[in-house]
Amino acid sequence: MMTITIEQGSGKAPANRPIPTYALWIVQGLLMLLFLFTGGMKLIVPLDVLLKQMPIPLPGLFVRFLGAAEVVGAIGLIFPGLLRIRMVLTPLAACGLFVIMIGATVYTLAGGGGAGALLPLVVGLLLAFVCGRALVSPLGGLSSSRWG
């Protein structure tokens, strides 16, 4: 006969969900909101308005492509882990958005915005954190035995 023992919680994080995993989810959620907003704006706002705000003009279709890539990347940051399917997509989405942020940092520096390049740089570093943690996380990424 098998007995099951139920213990009271000690207020600590469960062993299968350590604190760094919570931090990873929080960062991923904030990045998802950021990229849904910025990508959505690139898709919704008229091109002439967007191009007037840019220090160095980019082709309109390229701006729309970046918006679509940001929205898809934002979805890829959260939903594979939430649904527990194809969790390898999370680090891929983070790495893809990281490449976009490298370009945004260089673009901002080339446009003369030295201090303005700090924001895409910090976002890029957060994406590198998500990509690295998701690759080694026991709950997702490439190390998971549940690739879906």
Residues 97, 131: Cα–Cα separation, whole Å = 10
pTM of the predicted model as reported, rounded to 2 decimal places: 0.76
- Please tell me the predicted confidence (pLDDT) of residue 124: 95
- Asked if 125 and 71 count as a contact pair (C-beta separation under 8 A), the reply is no
Answer yes or no: is 148 within a domain. Answer: no
- Please tell me the predicted confidence (pLDDT) of residue 17: 57
DSSP-derived 3-state class of residue 54: coil
- Please tell me the predicted confidence (pLDDT) of residue 143: 44
Residues 126, 22: Cα–Cα separation, whole Å = 14
Ramachandran region, residue 141 (left: φ > 0; alpha: ψ -120 to 50; beta: rest): left
pLDDT of residue 10 exceeding 70: no
Answer yes or no: is 1 within a domain. Answer: no
Answer yes or no: is 55 within a domain. Answer: yes
Answer yes or no: is 23 within a domain. Answer: yes
Domain range enclosing 77: 19-136
Helices (H), the chain: 19-44, 47-52, 60-83, 89-110, 118-136
pLDDT of residue 140 exceeding 50: no
Percent of the chain at pLDDT > 90 equals 51
Answer yes or no: is 41 within a domain. Answer: yes
Number of domains in the chain: 1
| Higher-scoring residue by pLDDT: 120, 143 | 120
- Please tell me the predicted confidence (pLDDT) of residue 71: 97
Answer yes or no: is 34 within a domain. Answer: yes
Answer yes or no: is 4 within a domain. Answer: no
pLDDT in tens, 44-101: 999 999 999 888 989 999 999 999 999 999 999 999 888 888 888 889 999 999 999 9
Answer yes or no: is 84 within a domain. Answer: yes
Please, which pLDDT band fits residue 144 given cuts at 50, 70 and 90? very low
Please, which pLDDT band fits residue 142 given cuts at 50, 70 and 90? very low
